[in-house]
Amino acid sequence: MRAQVLPTVCSHRRRVPPRIRYTIKIKGILEENSTQEVVTHKLLKKISAAGEADLSNKVKAMLTRIQASGMDPFGWGLHYGARHFNNAT
């Protein structure tokens, strides 16, 4: 399984809080099916939707824990501060 994370910084001139949007792409190979069910396109879409929901929940939980701890392990605050050091925000 391979994962790719692509950051996108969204900044606006208006008084909108800065956002960082990440696109996470995961590719996997289905090697074995433990049931007798035939793997169809519809079944793969269901598996993909379930995986997307699970990953989304886990990423949100991780970001919430990081925010609650006050840490900045990704350096987003440092990056923002370097670009907006003379703002009254």
25 vs 18: CA distance, rounded Å = 23
Q: Taking the model in full, what pTM does it have?
A: 0.57
Is 45's pLDDT higher than 80?
Answer: yes
For 39, the token pair is 């793997």
pLDDT tens readout for residues 7-32: 555 555 566 666 777 787 888 887 77
pLDDT mean across residues, the chain: 76
CA 76 to each of CA 20, 32, 52, 72: distance values in angstroms, whole numbers, following the listed order: 8, 40, 24, 7
Contact 24, 51 (CB under 8 A): no
Q: Looking at residue 42, what is its pLDDT?
A: 92
Could you give the CA distance from residue 20 to residue 76 in angstroms, rounded to a whole number?
A: 8
**C-alpha to C-alpha distance for 78 and 82, rounded to whole angstroms:** 6
What is the model's pLDDT at position 79? 74
pLDDT at 54: 92
Residue 3: pLDDT band by 50, 70, 90 thresholds? Answer: low
